Amino acid sequence: MHNWLLPHKKLLLEQINNNTLPHAILVSGVSGAGKAILAKWLVSVLACQSTKLNLDDSTIACGMCKRCKLLHSKTYPDHLQIDNEGKTIGVDEIRQANQFIQKTAQIGFRKTLTVADAEKMTIPAANALLKTLEEPSDNSVLILLCSDVQLLLPTIISRCRLVELRPLAGNKLLAQIESSTSVKETDQAYVNLTHLPEIKDDNVARDFAEFQTALLLYLKEQKGRSLLTKIIADNPYGFRWLEKVIVNLMRNQQKLTSNEHTNVTNKLEKLNSVRLWDIYQLILNSSKQLKTLTQANKQFIVEKLVIDMSRICLLEGE
Ligand SMILES: [Zn+2]
């Protein structure tokens, strides 16, 4: 489980051992990639009085010492966790965190601050955090977690050591899914990665199937534009589904997948990998626009994307 965390753990342990652990670490990865698991592990190892550094994945906090117990009961004074359930992380929370970082450690060697969902920081909050990043206090470690570094200020990113968590993808993921013998195992393989609701929820699964049919019909015959636009714009998963189906088609074109999708590819044999790649780039660009433009007119961006996709499909006949 979470095998992809091991090299990161190893590197962090080496840095602790050599006293080269960065003051600020930015952990990025999709939901389910293990950001919080890695952060929690690092905090516990830094707090524990008797962690034995083995430089491998067997290194864990002892769980028995005073600091471990305090950390476990969430009363360890030298760790602060910002785990905001709300929509944003405001400037007041970050100011408090700054004050926490400026103080000397009470019982530990180091103070640790974890900010989950760092992309939720408002601009004033991010600017407040910058002060601490620019003038780090001794023996403090900031751990920022975020799902997409593009959503953070470049000035924040540039002052952190980036740790990118990349769960299984592509061939490895497909191999894991294909080698799974039961639905439950397959579920696990997906759920651990991105908590895909279409695998856990029958209603969402049905909606996804409908979407896939609508998308394939559109790519093939340019029919059903308004339905497709509506799903992508209105369904909370619509955009990700679009990316997923196109990526699946691309994988098929590269002859990487099981027979299950081959029927789909046959129907779309005219849509060669170059066209799919062009469509994929359109999706990525639109996705970027939706994330970076404030007040982005989602409907407009999606409508344009769907029309541009059909243009690429039509080019194929020329
Ligand atoms: Zn301990």
3-state secondary structure labels for all residues of 126-166: HHHHHHHHHCCCCCEEEEEEECCHHHCCHHHHHCCEEEECC
At 51, which helix (H) or strand (E)?
none
Instruction: List the structure tokens of 243.
Output: 């990316």
Ligand 1 centroid to residue 71 C-alpha, Å: 9
Centre of ligand 1 from the C-alpha of residue 79, in Å: 14
146 phi/psi in degrees, rounded to 5: -155, 155
Q: Which residues pair with 162 in a beta bridge?
A: 26
CA 47 to centroid of ligand 1, rounded, Å = 7
- Contact 221/191 with Cβ under 8 angstroms? no
How many CB atoms sit inside 10 A of residue 135's CB?
11
CA distance 64 to 50: 9
- How much distance in Å is there from the Cα of 74 to the middle of ligand 1? 14
CA of 26 to the centre of ligand 1 (A): 25
Q: How far is CA 102 from the centre of its chain?
A: 30
Secondary structure (3-state) at 108? coil
Give the tokens for residue 196.
């895909």
Q: What is the dihedral of CA 276, 233, 285, 251, to 10 degrees?
A: -30
- The tokens 């751990």 sit on which residue? 143
pLDDT per residue of the chain (318 residues) written in tens, 0 to 9: 477 888 899 999 999 989 999 999 999 988 778 899 999 999 999 999 887 777 666 788 888 999 999 999 999 999 999 998 888 899 999 999 999 998 889 998 899 999 999 999 998 999 999 988 988 888 899 999 998 887 888 889 999 999 988 776 555 555 554 554 443 444 344 434 445 667 667 788 888 888 988 998 898 888 899 999 999 988 888 888 898 888 878 776 654 334 444 455 455 555 677 788 889 889 988 888 887 776 668 888 999 999 999 888 877 444
pLDDT of residue 151: 82
The answer to whether residues 131 and 159 touch, using CB atoms and an 8 Å cutoff, is: no
**Which residues fall inside 5 Å of ion ligand 1, going by CB?**
48, 61-62, 65, 68
- Find where tokens 């929509």 sit: 87
Q: Which two tokens stand for residue 298?
A: 């989602």
CB 30 within 8 A of CB 194: yes
Residue linked to tokens 């117990």: 69
Give Cβ neighbours of residue 188 (< 8 Å, ≥ 6 apart): 180
C-alpha of residue 62 to centroid of ligand 1, in Å? 4
Least Cα distance to 234 among 293, 298, 168 occurs for 298
CB atoms within 10 A of CB 85: 7
Three-class DSSP category at 49: coil
Q: What pLDDT is recorded for position 183? A: 39
Strands (E), 147-282: 161-164
Could you tell me the distance, in angstroms and rounded to a whole number, from the CA of residue 61 to the centre of ligand 1?
Answer: 5
Distance in Å, CA 113 to ligand 1 centroid: 18
Query: How many angstroms is it from 59 CA to the middle of ligand 1?
Result: 11
Strands (E), 116-256: 140-146, 161-164
How far, in Å, is the centroid of ligand 1 from the Cα of 46? 9
